[in-house]
């Protein structure tokens, strides 16, 4: 019995999401950070590691050096898993080398820069027999688990309509492009073929499939760029069709002035509907045609086992983004621990609260991004959801309004 030893690539001084990952990973006392290649600048990586009280000998100047050196350490000291918190273009090469070096991987989304890379990564994961997790954080919220459980239990009947939206306003003006976070997201070389859909639209698509248990089978998309000389999309609307003939609408935007992270999903079935918003994460609203609506609160009443298993505080105490993130790490740590103990069965197969998005969601996420961009560039209305790479996709020229 020991903590799972974690290394990190990226997330050094001045980074945003790295600190979030570190807090979440260590919240349940299951994981400890032991090493990192926090920056491609050797001095910055060392200073970042020292600020985290790590052994200077395990603060590496590159991820290649980290994997080589960690492999050489005795089994009772080397890291078990690596977390990837870099811009998108590095996700694939880091994950590939980590898996081939024998380490489990938890990665930021999207999993790769292209769908072609995602499919290659899928093959590597299967060949390596190592675990791969993807930080679709919103699946870790208790009330999201509750919504998923109610849909799966048939409480809504057949799903007819899904409306999911994720508006932000942090890229509404040209001045907003000056931050480090904006710079790489708007750069096709580091972000890929999409900014808005690749950054937050993919979260919305993942949440729709996760809660409903359905898969997107076709879509119609319109992506736009609202700031002069911006190369990638900052706003988009997508019509969806699912594999049970349900229809949906997905809205994602980074130019909605005043919006923060207003992720919301509504699922409409034959007998009832569900409504969840990240701004009120402890609440799930269930509506019926001929009776009063029901407000379901975390920690109150008869909730699904998957929900109660990840509740951390008494009713009335908000559980938010950090706790949802931590729930993913809790599940991933359980899977890694099972491997270390020689257990062949994946814990999430029997404990639904331990589920973690993995390579399946990674491939579908990259497919969603490429399908949406292709649909937006086409004059055709509906496009089948394809899991095959589109080699002809390109980013629009500067100043072009359409993405």
Q: Give 53's contacts (C-beta < 8 A, 6+ positions apart).
A: none
CB 188 within 8 A of CB 231: yes
Is residue 344 scored above 80 in pLDDT? no
| 302, 113 contact by CB (below 8 A) | no
pLDDT at 26: 96
- Residue of 346, 322, 321 whose CA lies nearest to 333: 346
3-state secondary structure of 89: helix
Q: Is the pLDDT of residue 401 over 80?
A: no
Structure-model confidence comparison of residues 16 and 299, the more confident one: 299
Closest CA to 218 of 106, 56, 383, 68: 383
**Six token digits for residue 12:** 């050094």
Instruction: Give how far Cα 341 sits from Cα of 5, 166, 338, 358, 380, Å.
Output: 14, 40, 5, 21, 53
Whether 305 and 353 have beta carbons less than 8 Å apart is answered as yes
Range 314-339 average pLDDT: 95
Nearest Cα to Cα of residue 108 among 126, 80, 140, 83: 83
Backbone φ/ψ region at 233: left (φ over 0), alpha (ψ -120 to 50), beta? beta
Identify the CA nearest to 112 among candidates 192, 183, 51, 186.
Answer: 192
Tell me the pLDDT band of 346, cut-offs 50, 70 and 90: confident
The answer on pLDDT for 396 being more than 70 is no
Q: Using the predicted structure, report yes or no on whether residue 205 has a pLDDT greater than 50.
A: yes
Which phi-psi region, left, alpha or beta, contains residue 181 (left: φ > 0; alpha: ψ -120 to 50)?
Answer: alpha
Tokens in use for 77?
């000291």
Q: 347 pLDDT exceeds 90?
A: no
- Of 263, 265, 315, 267, nearest to 150 (Cα)? 267
Report CA 321 to chain centroid distance, whole Å: 12
Q: What pLDDT is attached to residue 350?
A: 75
| pLDDT tens-digit readout, 280-311 | 999 999 999 999 999 999 999 999 999 999 99
What pLDDT, on a 0 to 100 scale, did the predictor assign at position 394? 67
Q: What is the pLDDT of residue 402?
A: 33
Average pLDDT over residues 369-394: 92
Structure-token pair, residue 1: 């019995």
Of 99, 97, 95, residue with least CA distance to 109: 95
Q: Are 34 and 5 in contact (CB under 8 A)?
A: yes
CA 7 vs CA 82, 102, 249, 326: distances in Å: 5, 13, 39, 16
User: Binning pLDDT at 50, 70 and 90, where does residue 391 land?
Assistant: confident
pLDDT tens digits, 170-204: 999 999 999 989 999 999 999 999 999 999 999 99
pLDDT at position 398 = 41
Does the pLDDT of residue 395 top 70, yes or no? Answer: no
- Residue 329's pLDDT band (cuts 50, 70, 90): very high
CB-CB contact of 247 with 240 (8 Å): yes
pLDDT digits (tens, 9 = 90+) for 37-78: 999 899 999 999 999 999 999 999 999 999 999 999 999 999
User: Which token pair is 134?
Assistant: 């993807």
Question: What is the pLDDT, as a whole number, of residue 1?
Answer: 84
Give the separation between CA 104 and CA 332, rounded to whole angstroms.
10
Instruction: Pick 288 or 399 by higher pLDDT.
Output: 288
> Look-up: residue for tokens 């492009």?
177
Q: Per-residue pLDDT tens for 224-279?
A: 999 999 999 999 999 999 999 999 999 999 999 999 999 999 999 999 999 999 99
Q: Determine contact, residues 275/285, Cβ cutoff 8 Å.
A: yes
Instruction: Report residue 203 as tokens.
Output: 């979260």
Measured CA to CA in angstroms, residue 183 lies from 37, 188, 232, 285 at distances of 21, 10, 11, 38
Summary mean pLDDT of the chain: 95
Percent of the chain with pLDDT over 90: 90
Find residue 287's DSSP bridge partners.
Answer: 273
pLDDT digits (tens, 9 = 90+) for 91-121: 999 999 999 999 999 999 999 999 999 999 9
Element (H, E) at 93: helix 91-100
Largest CA distance in the chain: 66
Helix, strand, coil tally for the chain in percent (to 5):
40, 20, 40
pLDDT of residue 14: 83
Comparing CA positions, the residue from 225, 189, 177, 168 lying closest to residue 87 is 189
**Bridge partners of residue 306, in order along the sequence:** none
Q: In this model, does residue 397 exceed pLDDT 60? A: no
Q: Report the distance separating Cα 306 and Cα 270, nearest Å.
A: 24
CA distance 113 to 98: 17
């Amino acid at each position: 019995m020991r903590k799972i030893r974690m290394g990190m690539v990226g997330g050094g001084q001045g980074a945003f999401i790295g600190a979030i990952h570190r807090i979440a990973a260590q919240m349940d006392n299951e994981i400890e950070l032991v090493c990192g290649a926090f920056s491609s600048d050797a001095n910055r990586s060392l200073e970042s590691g020292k600020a985290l009280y790590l052994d200077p000998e395990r603060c590496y100047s590159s991820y290649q050096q980290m994997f080589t050196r960690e492999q050489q350490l005795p089994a009772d000291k080397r890291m078990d898993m690596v977390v990837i918190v870099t811009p998108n273009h590095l996700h694939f090469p880091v994950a590939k080398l980590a898996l081939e070096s024998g380490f489990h991987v938890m990665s930021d989304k999207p999993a790769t820069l292209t769908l072609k890379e995602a499919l290659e990564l899928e093959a590597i994961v299967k060949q390596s027999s190592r675990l791969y997790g993807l930080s679709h954080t919103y699946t870790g919220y208790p009330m999201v688990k509750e919504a998923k459980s109610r849909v799966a239990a048939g409480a809504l009947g057949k799903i007819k309509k899904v409306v999911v939206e994720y508006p932000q306003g942090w890229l509404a003006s040209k001045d907003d492009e000056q931050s480090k976070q904006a710079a790489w997201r708007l750069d096709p070389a580091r972000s890929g073929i999409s900014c808005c859909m690749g950054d937050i639209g993919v979260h919305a698509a993942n949440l729709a499939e996760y809660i409903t248990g359905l898969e997107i089978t076709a879509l119609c998309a319109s992506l736009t760029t609202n700031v002069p000389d911006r190369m990638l999309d900052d706003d988009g609307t997508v019509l969806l069709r699912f594999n049970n003939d349900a229809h949906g609408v997905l809205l994602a935007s980074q130019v909605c002035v005043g919006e923060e992270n207003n992720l919301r999903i509504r699922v409409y079935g034959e007998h009832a509907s569900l409504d969840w918003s990240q701004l009120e994460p402890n609440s799930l609203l269930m509506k019926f045609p001929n009776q009063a609506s029901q407000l379901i609160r975390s920690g109150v009443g008869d909730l699904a086992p998957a929900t109660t298993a990840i509740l951390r505080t008494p009713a009335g105490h908000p559980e938010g983004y950090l706790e949802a993130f931590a729930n993913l790490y809790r599940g991933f740590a359980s899977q890694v621990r099972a491997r270390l103990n020689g257990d062949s069965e994946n814990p999430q197969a029997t404990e639904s609260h331990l589920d973690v998005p993995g390579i399946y969601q990674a491939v579908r996420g990259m497919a969603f991004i490429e399908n949406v961009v292709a649909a937006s560039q086409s004059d055709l209305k509906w496009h089948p959801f394809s899991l095959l790479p589109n080699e002809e996709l390109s980013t629009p020229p500067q100043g072009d309004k359409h993405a």
